[in-house]
Amino acid sequence: MAADGDDLRKMEHPLEIPRLQCGAMEGVKPFVASPAIQENLGFPGELVPDWKERALEKMADLAANNRAFQVYLDTCVKCGACTDKCHYFLGTGDPKNMPVARQDLLRSVYRRYFTLAGKYFPKLVGARDLTEDVLQEWYSYYHQCSECRRCSVFCPYGIDTAEITMAARDILDHVGIGQKYSNEIIGKVEDIGNNLGLNPKAMRATLEDLEEDLEDDTGISVRLPLDEKGSDILLITPSADFFAEPHIDGLLGYAKVFHEADVSWTLSSYASEAANFGLFIGNNDHMREIALRIRKAAQDLGVKRIVFGECGHAWRVAYSFLNTLAGPFDFLDQDYPIPQHILEFTWGEIQKGTLTLDKSRNDHIRLTYHDSCNVARASRMGDEPGGQFEIPRNVIKAVCNHYFDMPRETTHESTLCCGGGGGLLTDDLMDLRKKGGSPRMTALQQTTEDHGVTHMAAICAICKTQFSKIMPEFGYEMDSVVSVHQLVSNAIILTGQEADQDTQDE
């Protein structure tokens, strides 16, 4: 068992290349899903006797049906550009966490069975047999990749390493080895509607409780509507927004913005989850099933628009795949983006001048912003290239006086993962999460030294939870990570609200 992050390396620089530590993370594995969890998703409950044939069949199937997968396996020239780009490599020093090396765990098997040279001269071309040890090695190292795609930005061939990780996890599920964390959650979304397992009655009670808080704080009745047919907007947000800190403060921010914009909106108890963990395990069928819940909710509620809350992987699936998975959305109002991000909505309202904002209400903190990986590298916001970088910053700057960016090589398209994305936000990987988060934390520490930054804002439920857990290791309070809409919520003065009636956060 690896240390619980107690051997964290002190980094001088966020991208400092570590001394190699061969085997440092060997054998690190998240809990394996039980047969009940696996079978609930239609996967074998445990390793099937003919696992080798089935794994190779699945690989052949992926190569045949996913051109990108085959191209990625064939084109790598081992140039080395990606070697030092992974936060898990930087944090652990384990050479198998170099993206090229991690990919080669699968590529070497592909070569052995699917290329001429590998079939006849395996040793010459680095091809190897598929054995049970290899499967276990896949399970370990393909759960030390958060599918953040930072390495892909630097690959001259554009190889998307995340796709290799997803394929490996897909093959593993196919032969009966699944990850407990992701697969249990996918089951809950498909059975109940969200990752948490929050049923409609509990969801309604939570929202009513929050409405009370809002009224106590502001003196204004701000609603958090649930399942209201005929609303204009359906808000799809991560269920962490109904449960965790600081996520809930973001939810209150969305509600205040909608209230001031005077639009009718609703949440859905049927599609009460934005995140799509089908992406994490590389399984299209589950990704589609989760996406279809959103379509059904939108149709049943008769909404005209779909807006997504602060959730990184959700936005990737929503922005890039929603139409393919669950479209066409011809029943929605075509004059609005389908789907729209809550930040696009809020930025629009700020530009229109709908919101009364008092920036000084955030003067007690000095902010920086963490670009969430899947928003930064796999999507866009607004009409301009780079909108996914500028719109969140524009909103933050409109509600805060003290904003400072982290070092440029760790932001925008080069952003570092929080260390908990892609299905790794589980307690059994805490050691890996702390190490993988250390490059980002080092960048934050630099910004604190240079500009006195006290807080970091994020727009992803995973980032928020991950940072609130690991920040104490790096000298910050756990509430030093904030939702962007929490900042908006702090700054908004609601129509009719007495200026001194608001209780500030913090």
Partner 1 sequence: MAYQVNGSTVEHDEEGYITNLDEWSKELADTIAESENIEMNEEHWEVVNFLRDYYEEYQIAPAVRVLIKSIKKSMGPEKGNNKYMYELFPYGPAKQACKIAGLPKPTGCV
Contacting residues toward partner 1, per CB under 8 A = 31, 180-181, 184-185, 188, 194-199, 201-202, 205-206, 209-210, 213, 238-240, 242-245, 247-248, 273, 275, 311, 425, 427-428, 461-462, 464-465, 478-479
Give 125 or 430: the residue with its C-beta nearer to partner 1: 430
Q: How far apart are CA 328 and CA 311, in angstroms?
A: 23
Report, in Å, the least distance between residue 198 CB and partner 1.
Answer: 6
Question: In this complex, which beta carbon is closest to partner 1, that of residue 20 or of residue 205?
Answer: 205
Q: Taking the complex as a whole, how short is the minimal distance between the CB of residue 31 and partner 1, in angstroms?
A: 5
- Closest to 418 measured CA to CA, from 470, 490, 375: 470
- What's the closest the beta carbon of residue 240 comes to partner 1, in angstroms? 4
Quote the least distance from Cβ 299 to partner 1, whole Å. Answer: 25
Q: Which is nearer to partner 1, 390 or 428 (CB)?
A: 428
Q: How many Å apart are CA 8 and CA 92, to the nearest integer?
A: 8
Taking the complex as a whole, how short is the minimal distance between the CB of residue 210 and partner 1, in angstroms? Answer: 8
Tokens found for residue 303: 């909404």
Q: Which helix (H) or strand (E) holds 167?
A: helix 161-175
Cβ-Cβ contacts under 8 Å for 469 (sequence gap 6 or more): 420, 430, 433, 478
Pick 150 or 188: Cβ nearer partner 1: 188
Residue 156 preceded by cis peptide, ω within 30: no
Closer residue to partner 1 (CB): 183 or 447: 183
| 26 versus 209: smaller Cβ distance to partner 1 | 209
Q: How far is the CB of 196 from partner 1 (least distance, A)?
A: 5
State the Cα–Cα distance between residues 64 and 71, nearest whole angstrom: 11
Closest distance to partner 1 from the beta carbon of 355 (Å): 24
CB of 43 to partner 1, least distance (A): 18
Residue with smaller CB distance to partner 1, 242 or 315: 242
What is the torsion angle, in degrees rounded to the nearest 10, for the CA atoms of residue 45, residue 47, residue 49 and residue 54? 100
Q: Rounded to an integer, what is the distance from CA 312 to the centroid of its chain? A: 4
CB of 361 to partner 1, least distance (A): 20
Q: Where are the alpha helices (DSSP H) in 383-483?
A: 387-399, 430-451, 461-470
Tokens of 324: 């393919």
Considering the complex, what minimum distance in angstroms separates the CB of residue 124 from partner 1? 43
Q: CB of residue 243 vs partner 1: minimum separation in angstroms?
A: 5
**The tokens 């992701």 sit on which residue?**
182
Q: How far is CA 129 from the centre of its chain?
A: 34
| Minimum CB distance to partner 1 smaller for 94 or for 273 | 273
Picking from 272, 261, 270, 266, the residue whose alpha carbon sits closest to that of residue 305 is 266
- CA 33 to CA 38: how far, in whole Å? 6
Q: What share of the chain is helix, strand, coil (3-state, %, to 5)?
A: 55, 5, 40
Number of H helices and number of E strands within the chain? 21, 7
DSSP 3-state assignment of 233?
strand
Gap between the Cα atoms of 404 and 393, Å rounded: 10
Matching residue, tokens 């397992």: 197
Which of residues 188 and 402 has its CB atom nearest to partner 1 in the complex? 188
Question: What is the closest distance, in whole angstroms, from the C-beta atom of residue 504 to partner 1 in the complex?
Answer: 15
How far, CA to CA in Å, does 427 sit from each of 30, 163, 432, 433? 9, 24, 10, 9
Q: How far is the CB of 224 from partner 1 (least distance, A)?
A: 12
- Structural tokens at position 49: 């006797």
Token pair in block for residue 428 = 């059994």
Residue number with CB closer to partner 1 (238 or 439):
238
Residue nearer to partner 1 on the CB measure, 98 or 275: 275
CB nearer partner 1, residue 231 or residue 239: 239
Closer Cβ to partner 1, 205 or 292, answer by number: 205
The DSSP 8-state label assigned to residue 134 in this structure reads: H
| Cβ within 8 Å of residue 143, ≥6 positions away | 28, 29, 30, 169, 179, 423, 424, 429
Nearest to residue 207, comparing CAs of 251, 246, 244, 245? 251
Instruction: Give CA separation, 22 vs 25, 97, 157, 344, in Å.
Output: 8, 10, 27, 45
